[in-house]
Amino acid sequence: MSEKFSAVIAAGGIGSRFGGDIPKQFTEACGVPVIAHTLNKFELCELIDEIVIVTHKDYLVFCSDIVKSFNFTKVTSIIEGGTTRQQSVFKGIKATSPDADYVLIHDAARPAIDIKTIEKCCHTAIQYDSCAVGTKVVDTIKISEDGEFISATADRSKLWQIQTPQCFKRDYILKCHKNAAFENFEATDDCMLAEHYGARIKLVEGSRENLKITDYKDLAIVEVFLDD
């Protein structure tokens, strides 16, 4: 494959909902830091050419030590993030190689991502320019206008729970972030950002095992997936 793929690993969160002494992405799962599990999946994926880690300034050395300890050869930069996730991802994209054709953005706190899904994401991006991993919603979703009573029932056949990675042409998502910074537009994820500027994003069906760790219960569940 001639196309080049860079991965931006978003590891800048402080984990206020997680609690504990250190952020969730640096706590241990199966005896190994969560971020190390995540990095290993992208390291082992043959389609990924480079990895950029974006983290809080207090954990730059910590990340560097992990990269050295596990010999992650694809990590080219470990940089300080911004005050928001969007700002951090923007800095991460700018730190990727200008030669990269596509950028995959992934949460460090999703260590159970599998290599086949990363590969599927890369192939889909080549075909459709933009894509995002997600799963179909299986629960019945209710809408509440006032936050107290049910107003309507959403059609779950049209609903997806979006995960990461989310993959875009590098030049395009970089332009989206530049425009958003100029306009002070804040999005909850890069899909929302790209949608705002007209992108048509292809859905890539992933797995519910690709859980984002937000509390210790999630950590226990993810450890089961990682131990398989």
Across residues 176-197, what is the average pLDDT? 96
Q: Cis peptide leading into 165, omega within 30 of 0?
A: yes
Region label for 38, one of left (φ > 0), alpha (ψ between -120 and 50) or beta (otherwise): alpha
How many Cα atoms sit within 13 Å of 111 on the Cβ side? 28
pLDDT digits 0-9 by tens, 37-82? 999 999 999 999 999 999 999 999 999 999 999 999 999 999 999 9
Phi, psi of 106 (to 5 degrees): -140, 145
Q: Position of tokens 């909902």? A: 17
How far apart CA 162 and CA 166 sit, in angstroms, is 9
Contacts of 211 (CB under 8 A, 6+ apart): 110, 112, 218, 221, 222, 225
Q: How far from 205 is each of 12, 131, 132, 163, 182, CA to CA, in Å?
A: 26, 10, 8, 10, 33
pLDDT at 114 over 90: yes
Per-residue confidence band for 22, with pLDDT thresholds at 50, 70 and 90: confident
The domains located in the chain, with CATH, are 5-226 (3.90.550.10)
pLDDT digits 0-9 by tens, 149-179? 999 999 999 999 999 999 999 999 999 999 9
Question: Are 80 and 56 within 8 A, CB to CB?
Answer: yes
Contacts of 112 (CB under 8 A, 6+ apart): 37, 207, 209, 210, 211, 222, 225, 226
pLDDT at 227: 77
